């Protein structure tokens, strides 16, 4: 079978290249049988065919294809190779969350990542389990650099190999259709809230701004970022207020109005609730 599944991998912490090599099989050889490998196995087939099984799901990997085996799953050959077969293999380790499914799934970070300021819009790496690579030679050139780095001194070699490995992952992700229409909408709404937090904003205004029903906007943002537009807007406003309280001589009344609160007493209540402290109203 050919897989159309997607591996969604949290990039906080980043995936790490562990080891790799070039395998040469002759007719009758089999891939190692095991179920205790703690790494992902990325295979890039240059010549021949591989007949691999993962948890009794059989796959045929053809020349010019990339294929990824999951860690701690049962891998073996369901059929010996029938011809000379050459492929690159990479082991990489993921300590964060990951999932294999039939569509991209945003993965939560193991640490809290604030999204009020400049930050990556999506912390998940998406890789097809199996895919054709139109420029396999270009990709294997990048992998050769990873291998060459292992002969450098320990400090520089490690960083160069990891940087090149990230380039490989970036190349592979570029071939995955990731964002859904709901996720794209959510990203646009978040950007709008960041840029216009001082204005009077409500769900009705967002509906008119994005020509979409209020409930769909709320659901899209909640599913993508884990927070409603209203709560996100409040976070942005309070964060900006904290900055002004610490770095300006403006009164609390002036600050509350500047960050978008129409009532200073309501601002004080919200600030106290979110920051677990009180502020002086002047």
CA distances from 227 to 152, 164, 188 (A): 46, 35, 15
Q: How many domains does the chain have?
A: 2
Interval 41-48 mean pLDDT: 96
Does a structural domain hold residue 282?
no
Rounded to whole angstroms, what are the CA distances from 19 to 44, 54, 75?
Answer: 14, 21, 18
Task: Give me the mean pLDDT over the 42-63 stretch.
Answer: 96
The per-residue pLDDT for range 108-135, each reduced to its tens digit, is: 888 876 665 656 667 889 999 999 987 6
Q: In what order do the strands lie in the sheet with 130-132?
A: 16-25, 85-93, 40-47, 65-69, 130-132
**Is a pLDDT exceeding 90 seen at residue 180?**
no
Q: How far apart are CA 141 and CA 88, in angstroms?
A: 11
Give the chain's end-to-end CA distance (angstroms, integer). Answer: 70
In the beta sheet, which residues pair with residue 267?
A: none
Residue 44 maps to a domain = yes
Please give the mean pLDDT across all residues of the chain.
88
Residue numbers of the domain that contains 222: 181-275
Model confidence at 54: pLDDT above 80: yes
Residue 85 lies in a domain: yes
| 0.85 surpassed by pTM | no
SS3 content of the chain, % helix, strand, coil (to 5): 40, 20, 40
Distance CA 53, CA 31 (A): 10
Q: Which of 136, 157, 173 is the last residue of a domain?
A: 173
Does residue 1 sit within a domain? Answer: no
- Do residue 69 and residue 39 come from a single domain? yes
Domain harbouring 203, CATH code: 1.10.10.60
Q: Which of 78-92, 110-124, 214-228 has the lowest mean pLDDT?
A: 110-124
Q: Tell me how far apart the alpha carbons of residues 91 and 23 are, in angstroms, rounded to a whole number.
A: 13
Answer whether residue 281 is part of any domain. no
Q: What pLDDT is recorded for position 278?
A: 54
Instruction: Kindly state whether residue 157 falls inside one of the protein's structural domains.
Output: yes
Q: Say if residues 4 and 101 touch (Cβ distance below 8 Å).
A: no
Residue 43 near residue 68, CB atoms below 8 Å: yes
Are residues 144 and 236 located together in one domain of the fold?
Answer: no
Residue 222: count of CB within 10 angstroms of its CB? 15
Q: Give alpha helix (H) positions in 136-263.
A: 136-149, 154-173, 181-196, 203-210, 214-225, 229-247, 252-258
**pLDDT: which is higher, 113 or 244:** 244
Distance CA(251)–CA(245), nearest Å, equals 8
């Amino acid at each position: 079978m050919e897989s159309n599944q997607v591996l969604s991998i949290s990039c906080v912490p980043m995936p790490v290249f562990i080891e790799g090599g070039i395998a040469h099989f002759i007719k009758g050889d089999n891939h190692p049988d095991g179920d205790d490998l703690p790494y992902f196995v990325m295979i890039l087939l240059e010549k021949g065919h591989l007949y691999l099984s993962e948890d009794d799901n059989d796959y045929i990997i053809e020349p010019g294809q990339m294929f990824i085996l999951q860690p701690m799953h049962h891998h073996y050959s369901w059929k010996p190779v029938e011809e000379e077969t050459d492929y690159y293999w990479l082991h990489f380790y993921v300590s964060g969350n990951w999932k294999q499914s039939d569509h991209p799934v945003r993965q939560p970070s193991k640490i809290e990542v604030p999204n009020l300021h400049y930050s990556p819009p999506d912390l998940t790496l998406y890789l097809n389990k199996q895919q054709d690579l139109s420029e396999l030679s270009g990709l294997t050139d990048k992998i050769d650099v990873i291998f060459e780095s292992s002969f450098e001194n320990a400090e520089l070699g490690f960083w160069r190999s990891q940087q090149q490995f990230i380039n490989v992952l970036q190349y592979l992700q570029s071939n995955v259709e990731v964002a859904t229409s709901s996720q794209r909408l959510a990203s646009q709404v978040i950007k709008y809230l960041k840029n216009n937090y001082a204005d009077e904003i409500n769900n009705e205004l967002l509906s008119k701004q994005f020509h979409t029903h209020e409930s769909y906007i709320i659901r899209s943002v909640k599913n993508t970022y884990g927070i409603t537009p209203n709560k996100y807007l409040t976070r942005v406003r309070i964060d900006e207020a904290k900055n002004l309280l610490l770095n300006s001589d403006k009164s609390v009344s002036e600050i509350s109005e500047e960050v978008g609160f129409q009532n200073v007493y309501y601002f004080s209540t919200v600030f106290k609730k979110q920051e677990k402290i009180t502020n002086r109203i002047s």
